[in-house]
Amino acid sequence: MNAKQVAYLVPTTILANQQYETFKERMEKFAIKVELLTRFRTKKEQQEIIKKLKLGEIDIVIGTHRLLSKDVEFKDLGFLIVDEEHRFGVKDKEKIKEMKANIDVLTMTATPIPRTLHMSIVGVRDMSVIYEPPQDRKPVKTYVLEYDEEVIKEAITKELERKGQVFYLYNKVEGIEKKALAVQGLVPETKVAYAHGQMSGQELEDIMMDFIDKKIDVIVCTTILESGIDIPNANTIIIENADRLGLAQLYQIRGRVGRSNKESFAYITYKRDRLLSEVADKRLKAIKDFTEFGSGFKVAMRDLEIRGAGSLIGEYQHGHMEQVGYDMYCKLLDEVMREMQGKKIEKPQEDVQIDLNISSYIPEEYIENNNIKLSIYQDIALCRNEKELLDITDEIIDRFGNMPKEVENLIEITRIKNLARAKKINKIAQKGNSIVFYFSREDFNMDSVSKLIEKYKNNIKFSPSVLPYITYKIDTKKSLFGQLKEFLEII
């Protein structure tokens, strides 16, 4: 309405057509001209649309990657919408970046790719989240299993018996026709068709329209169905060789079903007796774990853990954060962001070293699984206050039963570490019956020494060296942690 143009960028021609029809219907009562630009438009139609865009005769253009071509120019672009943002590669995003120097941009995705999610979390981008599902929607029941023809046959038959339709994802163009015939052989009474991205626009459109009109029961297709297709009557999806697909891809593909109030099912299969790689195994476990609504963020966070965030602003897309650790990566990025915003950067305090003559670990017999054990160690180490420590203690007892002494010690050491951090102590080390507290010279406060001498008399020794330290002789008959906590509260 402010005489600016809008570009709506989508990853597939099918989705572009669907959005074009919706936009046309919604805008027909307003004086707004909507057009569609994809490779399936004739050359003459494309040239006409590009000419009108340059003259400002088109208000909203909906298109695929064709919109990013060099010959496309706008008279006055004001707003860019990128739908299914995770489907665009880094090079496409570099082109989008050139477009959006002086315009507003809205990107939408059900599963933000790791670096997009991260940019939102650290404040490079603003983010708003839609958690509420549409009314009467039910989560998709997800099964991850070895490929079994009997299971597939039963799944298709059950869906057809309730007058529904089935998506069958087979992500290889060569052999897709053969696969469609095999599916037809499994359930002879069904009408089976196949679709893939190498078909002509008209052919693809006809097949999809037949499926929407319920003239086809099962559609065998490649990942072209991944983006945005909305067919409420299709409520079973079978995915073959799912271990070859990405996590966000699997989440999106599963989202093609369950778009009505009917119960929906996803059968995510991999080849019988196939040895899955560690990454593929993690992906399949994640897709099985995250079935509830609003899981997109959890899926993206798991993806972030599996493959790293990569370069945030360059073309280098992948990269494992294991090299520096996710927390350090966040801190470094946050520092750069604050510096660019002209904010004061506080010098981070190094972690407190604790060296006490106590056993503090998670015993093998308490938690056997090494991955879970590492996760618990990490959760304990990340606790920064008493509330977080109480929460993790409750969670451990709830999941694994009463804690052995070694785990209790681990929790207590973290508690001591948090108290020491607040008092600017660098290291606490036990030497026989004495505990030594080390400070940095700039953080040391002489007033605390007089308080300690008043309380502990001859049990305290102070050494004002390059790194000042206080030696405290403990009472071996009393609780070590109790004495440490009392000492730290006085400092």
Residue 49 banded pLDDT, cuts 50, 70, 90: very high
Residue 268 to residues 223, 238, 306, 428, Cα–Cα distance (Å)? 14, 6, 19, 52
Indicate whether 202 and 257 sit together in one domain.
yes
In a shared domain, residues 149 and 77: no
Domain count, the chain: 3
Q: For position 359, which CATH number holds?
A: 3.90.1150.50
Please indicate, yes or no, if residue 172 is contained in any of the structural domains.
Answer: yes
Higher pLDDT, 256 or 214: 214
Amino acid at 306: I
Confidence of residue 329 (pLDDT cuts 50, 70, 90): low
pLDDT of res. 303: 53
Do the domain assignments include residue 198? yes
Looking at the structure, tell me whether residues 282 and 371 fall in a common domain. no
Identify the residue with better confidence: 170 or 276.
170
Domain boundary among 93, 108, 123: 108
CATH number of the domain at 88, please. Answer: 3.40.50.300
- Residue 215 belongs to some domain of the structure: yes
Distance CA 454, CA 448 (A): 10
| Residue 155: per-residue pLDDT | 94
Residue-wise pLDDT for 112-136, tens only, equals 555 555 556 555 566 676 667 777 7
Sheet holding 425-431, edge to edge: 353-355, 425-431, 434-439, 469-473, 460-463
CB atoms within 10 A of CB 230: 12
Confidence check: pLDDT of 249 > 80: no
> How much is the average pLDDT of 428-446?
83
What average pLDDT does the chain have?
A: 81
Average pLDDT over residues 354-379: 88
Do 83 and 193 lie in a common domain? no
Given a cut of 80, whether residue 483 has pLDDT beyond it is yes
Residues 102 and 162 in one domain: no
Q: pLDDT-based confidence at 187, cuts 50/70/90?
A: very high
Q: Is the dihedral of CA 255, 257, 259, 263 positive or negative?
A: negative
Does residue 331 lie in a domain region? no
Neighbours of 347 (CB within 10 A): 5
Of 257 and 351, the structure prediction assigns the larger pLDDT to 257
- pLDDT-derived band at 23 (thresholds 50, 70, 90) equals very high
Residues 101 and 202 in one domain: no
pLDDT at residue 47 greater than cutoff 60? yes
Express each pLDDT in 199-243 by its tens digit.
877 788 788 888 888 999 999 998 877 655 678 899 999 999 888
Alpha-carbon distance of 57 to 343, in angstroms, equals 45
DSSP string, 447-489: HHHHHHHHHHGGGEEEE-SSS-EEEEE--TTS-HHHHHHHHHH
Q: What are phi and psi of 153, to 5 degrees?
A: -60, -45
Q: Reading across the β-sheet that carries 192-195, which strands appear in turn?
A: 141-146, 265-270, 234-239, 165-169, 218-221, 192-195
Q: Residue ranges of the alpha helices (H) in 28-133?
A: 43-55, 90-99, 114-121
Rounded average pLDDT over 3-7: 92
Contacting residues for 314 by C-beta, under 8 A, at least 6 apart: none
Same domain, 93 and 219: no
Residues 93 and 175 in one domain: no
pLDDT band at 4 (very low <50, low <70, confident <90, very high): very high
Looking at residue 394, its amino acid is D
pLDDT at 145 over 90: no
**247, 278, 293 - which closes a domain:** 293
Asked, for residue 164, whether it belongs to a domain, the answer is yes
**Cα-based torsion angle of the residue sequence 69, 70, 72, 76 in order, rounded to the nearest 10 degrees:** 120
State residue 229's pLDDT score. 67
> Which residues constitute the domain of residue 24?
5-108
Supply the pLDDT for residue 346: 63
Q: Quick one: 158 and 46 in the same domain?
A: no
Is residue 193 located within the same domain as residue 94?
no
